[in-house]
Amino acid sequence: MIDVSFLLIVFFALVSGISNREQAKMSLSRVREGVAARPDDDARWVLNVLPAADGASAGYALNGAIYPADADGAAGLAEALAEGYRANPRLEVNPRADRATHYRFVEPAMRAATTAARLAGGGALPRLNLVVEEQQAGKGAPTDGA
Amino acid sequence: MAREHRRMMRDPRARARVSLSITPMIDVVFQLLIYFLLTAGFMGNERHLRAEMPPEQAEGARSRGLALEAEPLVIRVTRGGGGARIALDAGLAAPRDARELEQVLRDALVAPDRPRGLFTADHPIRIVATPDVPWEDVVEVFNAVVAAGYRSVAFGGAR
């Protein structure tokens, strides 16, 4: 029993580290139940659009690296994503953005994936999965505020 | 002192008394287990909506054009007083909200019971939002388009 407990501790310690790196704290957009798909097991990189006050963004987080939320940051992001596409042309990019973040900060992040696919060449196609939160039945309308 | 120790080790009754108490260790292990169980952040009810971006052409390829590609139906999202304002191209009525947009698009879809619909499910849809629109409103519009039955939905630039 003590062995199993140790194994569980190691598992949770590792998983919590990975989760923290991929999941920046934010309020995701909500969708009705049954519309969005469950995450699959394909290779994917989570691209966090870090939220800031008044719909602004504090930058983009990808694999532990932070890129500023400006043109230079988007260019750096595209370079980093291109590396991923070169390694795996079927890589999926999952943009996560706070529901209050303005579109001008989210669009460059998604655009970076398209630029990266072109930079990588080799027929890489940008596969984007918008990360949303499924509205549980009986917990209010999908458009509820944060 | 050393002699006394050797004598104790030779005596089986004295040796049995030397043992490691693992009870505190088990307590600590369980405390750690509970801590990690409570703090581990899992996916919860996160889900995915598959999206596309318009393909970016390499320099020099922009002028070639794609004559056979259907003209996308553009959905414009702007920030209004009480939420997002949605406008549609192709002479379709402007819906009041995402729910109404879903209905308008569903009515325009070619289906066995609506052979005179305007668009097939593969018709390209482009969502174009102004820079100050909250992401939630854009996702709502995207969600409505997907829910209406369209499969080729892409995001345009923020303008």
Question: pLDDT tens for residues A108-127?
Answer: 998 898 889 888 876 667 88
Is A9 within 8 Å of B58 when comparing Cβ atoms? no
Among the residues of chain A, which ranges form H helices? 2-22, 71-87, 103-120
Q: What is the domain extent for residue A56?
A: 2-134
Has residue A141 been placed in a domain?
no
How far is residue B150 from each of residues A110, B100, B108, measured CA to CA in Å?
A: 20, 15, 11
Would you say residue A23 lies in a domain?
yes
**B contacts of A104 (beta carbons < 8 Å):** 131-132, 158
A95 neighbors A47 (Cβ within 8 angstroms): yes
Q: Is A115 left (phi over 0), alpha (psi -120 to 50) or beta?
A: alpha
Domain assignment present for residue A144? The answer is: no
Mean pLDDT of B112-139: 87
Residues of B in contact with A9 (CB under 8 A): 29, 32-33, 36
**What pLDDT digit, counting tens, does each position of A27-57 carry?**
777 777 666 777 666 788 889 999 999 889 9
- The domain made up of B73-155 has a fold known as Nucleotidyltransferase; domain 5 (3.30.420)
Two tokens, residue A103: 């579109």
ipTM score of complex: 0.76
Helix ranges (DSSP H) in A23-143? 71-87, 103-120
Q: Could A101 and B134 be called an inter-chain contact, meaning their C-beta atoms sit closer than 8 Å?
A: yes
Is A92 among the domain residues?
A: yes
Kindly report the number of other CB atoms within 10 A of residue B14's CB atom: 12
Q: What is the residue extent of each domain of chain B?
A: 2-39, 73-155
